[in-house]
């Protein structure tokens, strides 16, 4: 797996790059044979450093993890540990999961436009520049692929990412569903159809 390492407004150094490549390759290869690529980003945080890792496990599945610590190498180790826990849980679920979606259905991805509000950092920058008073909320239009998944597959995808929610087409009835992270750390499932059955 090819891994790129970069620093946000800072130099990472050769030792950090080698440590990042070895550690990330080590845990990914332990659980997945054909990961596509990986990226590690180092940046300064309030009381130390933040390391973000992102690995494309396949064309559609990405693993994200973040670590914080007083020094860069400890932050990297925290991110790697976080990523390994997610990978281990995902692998365990895959072994126990009986896939009921056909390969044809898995390739049925529908592009749907989504509206996303500007990130908090952008809004904070606008406030500091004095532009926020007459500025409406910033909205960006993105293309978002709605995949055909079972509820269990959707939960596994959400657990691998750091996204707050995932919309998917439920393989059981083809309706749109959402899984999301709740404040207590558990995962919620929204099915507008509820327990209603199709009347044919």
pLDDT band, very low/low/confident/very high, at 30 (cuts 50, 70, 90): confident
For residue 124, being part of any structural domain is answered with yes
For residue 126, being part of any structural domain is answered with yes
The pLDDT of 99-124, averaged and rounded, is 43
pLDDT band, very low/low/confident/very high, at 125 (cuts 50, 70, 90): low
pLDDT at 51: 92
pLDDT at 78: 93
For residue 185, being part of any structural domain is answered with yes
Q: Same domain for 90 and 115?
A: no
0.85 cut: is pTM over it? no
Q: Is a pLDDT exceeding 70 seen at residue 163?
A: yes
Rounded CA Rg of the chain: 19
Q: In this structure, what CATH number is given to the domain that contains residue 186?
A: 3.30.505.50
For residue 196, being part of any structural domain is answered with no
pLDDT at 80: 92
pLDDT in tens, 55-74: 888 777 788 889 999 999 99
For residue 199, being part of any structural domain is answered with no
For residue 197, being part of any structural domain is answered with no
For residue 140, being part of any structural domain is answered with yes
Q: Same domain for 10 and 38?
A: yes
Q: Is a pLDDT exceeding 90 seen at residue 142?
A: no
What is the extent of the structural domain holding 121? 103-190
The pLDDT of 140-162, averaged and rounded, is 80
For residue 200, being part of any structural domain is answered with no
Q: State the average pLDDT for the chain.
A: 76
Q: Same domain for 70 and 111?
A: no
Q: Same domain for 68 and 25?
A: yes
Q: Which carries the bigger pLDDT value, residue 23 or residue 196?
A: 23
Q: In this structure, what CATH number is given to the domain that contains residue 40?
A: 3.30.160.100
pLDDT at 108: 43
User: Domain tally for the chain?
Assistant: 2
Share of the chain above pLDDT 70, in %: 71
pLDDT at 130: 52
């Amino acid at each position: 797996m090819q891994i790129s390492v970069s620093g946000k407004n800072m130099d990472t150094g050769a030792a950090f790059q080698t440590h990042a490549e070895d550690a990330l390759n080590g845990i990914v290869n332990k659980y997945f044979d054909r990961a596509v690529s990986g990226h590690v980003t180092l940046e300064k945080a309030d009381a130390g450093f933040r390391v973000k890792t992102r690995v494309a496990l396949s064309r559609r599945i990405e693993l994200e993890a973040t670590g914080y610590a007083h020094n860069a190498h400890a932050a990297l180790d925290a991110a790697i540990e976080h990523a390994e826990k997610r990978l281990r849980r995902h692998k365990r679920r895959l072994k126990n999961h009986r896939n009921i979606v056909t390969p044809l259905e898995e390739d049925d991805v529908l592009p749907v436009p989504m509206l996303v509000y500007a990130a908090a950092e952008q809004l904070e920058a606008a406030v500091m520049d004095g532009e926020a008073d007459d500025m409406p909320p910033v909205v960006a239009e993105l293309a978002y692929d709605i995949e055909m998944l079972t509820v269990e597959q959707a939960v596994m995808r959400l657990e691998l990412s750091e996204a707050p929610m995932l919309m998917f087409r439920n393989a059981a009835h083809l309706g749109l569903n959402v899984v999301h992270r709740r404040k207590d750390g558990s995962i919620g499932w929204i099915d507008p159809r509820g327990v209603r059955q199709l009347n044919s």
